[in-house]
Amino acid sequence: MNAPVRAADFVVDAFAATAVRHRAVDVEGVRVFYREAGPADAPTVLLLHGFPSASHMFRNLIPQLAGRYHVVAPDFPGFGLTQAPNGFRYTFDNLAHVVDGFTQAIGLSRYAIYVFDYGAPVGWRLAMAHPERISAIVTQN
């Protein structure tokens, strides 16, 4: 006989699916902070923030997407909780290089990118360097 489904069971499961995890990973000497939520086996959405913000700007969006997607939002070097090493050159090429290394470090092989502002030139560079990894592009005007 099947046990009855209780509302409390559903709430716990829904919370677990949308809970945001705060993590960090080393990318060539840059400790990249990122927010992550959703099932790891779901399609991935990489949220790339604008200036002068950080992944914190997606704090309300991440849980809304996490029920259906694996959501990842890194802080760029020098933004949010990712510290840039001394002498870091703040160019879009360098930011894209770090984000590319970040995606590889956490094992992202295919993902959609959400871009605007500073995130756009970073995302375009990722798409040009690895078009096979990009499943979709969402751009905000």
Q: To 5 degrees, how large is the angle CA 71–CA 76–CA 82?
A: 100
Domains of the chain: 21-139 (3.40.50.1820)
Which pLDDT value is given to residue 11?
A: 46
pLDDT along the chain (141 residues), means of 10: 49 62 96 97 97 96 97 98 94 98 98 97 98 97 83
Which pLDDT value is given to residue 12?
A: 43
Cβ atoms within 10 Å of 64's Cβ, excluding its own: 13
Phi-psi region of 87 (alpha: psi -120 to 50; beta: other; left: phi over 0): left
Which pLDDT value is given to residue 141?
A: 83
